[in-house]
Amino acid sequence: MTVSILKQGNYLIASVQSALTDTEVIELRDALLAQVAKHRSRGVIVDVAAVDIIDSFAARSLTTVARTNRLRGAKTVIVGIQPEVAVAMSQFGLRLDSAYIALDLEAGIQLLTA
Amino acid sequence: MSEEVRVPIESDADTVIARQAGRDVALRLGFTRTDATFIATAISEIARNITVHAGAGEMIVRELNEDGRTGLAVIARDEGPGISDVAAVMRQDYRSNAGLGMGIWGAMRLMDEIDIKSSPGEGTTVTMKKWCGFDEVAAFLDH
């Protein structure tokens, strides 16, 4: 999978390395949910800076992660959404409900550790 | 010679190839990075309709030159079960969090023109167009 998930203290950091197929989006979703449960994480950062698009399927999958984590008391922070991707999501009407959003990894870590 | 790229769609990996091809052609034709991302996102939605509902099909990305303006057409074809009520899809009656409607709905907002030809058992052809320099937000608000 073109995603690496690192454990950093009470948090997880998932970095998406390239464009994802729908199958890989599902694998990412399931891996994040499993890892958050296994490590009893307080939060997870998903860095999507290398992602080419966020369409309805990717948005729904990330929202599922965020909603599920919230019910576990864990925060989900999406970081690195590219400006063009943000404009396309806005025009489409896609939202990432239940997720926190931060500009980049550094801001995401600040948000979780504040 | 005008540009044309054909991508067979048989799996979700082909969807990524198609949306990257659409982005590449768009950038070569002079579209902004934002417009190229709109096009790639619309291609992803429509390609998913092919893999989920028809199993396989084809996408064609084609340069357009009409009335002195440059554009890009995406033609998505499949021989799947087809759509019985295309008008309802276009009216967004089908809009839901999953399935056909959401993808078409997104593509309608991201592209300048969209046309669907389909009937049960006859497959589906979706043709989407976007024009260079066209303000899609203003056009949408004008609808």
- Give residues with Cβ within 8 angstroms of B98, minimum separation 6: A60
pLDDT at residue B97 in the model: 44
pLDDT at residue B91 in the model: 75
Which of B4-8, B80-84, B134-138 reaches the highest mean pLDDT? Answer: B4-8
Q: What is the pLDDT of residues B102-111, one digit of tens each?
A: 888 899 999 9
Give the one of B11, B40, B136 whose C-beta lies nearest to A53's C-beta.
Answer: B40
Neighbours of B133 (CB within 10 A): 11
Write the DSSP symbol of residue B82.
Answer: -
Residue B20 to chain A, least CA–CA distance (Å): 8
Mean pLDDT of B57-83: 95
Residue B38 to chain A, least CA–CA distance (Å): 5
pLDDT at residue B22 in the model: 98
Rounded to the nearest 10°, the torsion over CA B133, A86, B98, B74 is 30
Six-digit token pair at B19? 């949306």
* ipTM attached to this prediction: 0.95
Going edge to edge, which strands form the sheet with B113-118?
B4-9, B57-66, B69-78, B124-131, B113-118
What domains can you pick out in chain A, each with its CATH number? 3-113 (3.30.750.24)
CA-based nearest residue to B57, from B15, B19, B9, B16? B9
Give the one of B38, B97, B140 whose C-beta lies nearest to A88's C-beta.
Answer: B38
Q: Is A92 on the interface with B (CB under 8 A)?
A: yes
pLDDT at residue B72 in the model: 97
pLDDT tier at B141 (50, 70, 90 boundaries)? Answer: low
Mean pLDDT of B60-68: 94
Residues in chain A with CB shorter than 8 Å from the CB of B96 are: none
DSSP-H helix ranges across B10-135:
12-29, 33-49, 86-90, 100-110
Instruction: Please say whether the beta carbons of A32 and A5 come within 8 A.
Output: yes
pTM of the model: 0.92
Give percent helix, percent strand, percent coil of chain A, each to the nearest 5: 45, 20, 30
Instruction: Please say whether the beta carbons of B126 and B103 come within 8 A.
Output: no
pLDDT tier at A1 (50, 70, 90 boundaries)? Answer: low
Mean pLDDT of B118-129: 93
Six-digit token pair at A64? 């599922």
Measured CA to CA, the distance from residue B26 to residue A34 in angstroms comes to 39
Interface test with B, best of A52, A54, A94 (most B CBs within 10 A): A52
pLDDT tier at B95 (50, 70, 90 boundaries)? Answer: low
Write the DSSP symbol of residue A90.
Answer: H
When comparing pLDDT for A62 and B141, which is higher?
A62
Q: What is the pLDDT of residues B18-51, one digit of tens each?
A: 999 999 999 999 999 999 999 999 999 999 999 9
Say whether B110 and A22 touch across the interface (CB within 8 A): no
Quote the distance between the C-alpha of residue A81 and its chain's center. Answer: 10
Say whether A84 and B36 touch across the interface (CB within 8 A): yes
Q: How much is the mean pLDDT over chain A?
A: 96
Q: Under an 8 Å CB criterion, which residues of B touch A?
A: 11-13, 15-16, 19-20, 23, 33-34, 36-38, 40-41, 44-45, 48, 97-98, 102-103, 106, 109-110, 136-137, 140
Q: What is the pLDDT of residues A56-97, one digit of tens each?
A: 999 999 999 999 999 999 999 999 999 999 999 999 999 999
Residue A17, classed as helix, strand or coil, is coil
Residue B85, classed as helix, strand or coil, is coil
Residue A65, classed as helix, strand or coil, is helix
Say whether B33 and A88 touch across the interface (CB within 8 A): no
What domains can you pick out in chain B, each with its CATH number? 4-142 (3.30.565.10)
Residue B124, classed as helix, strand or coil, is strand
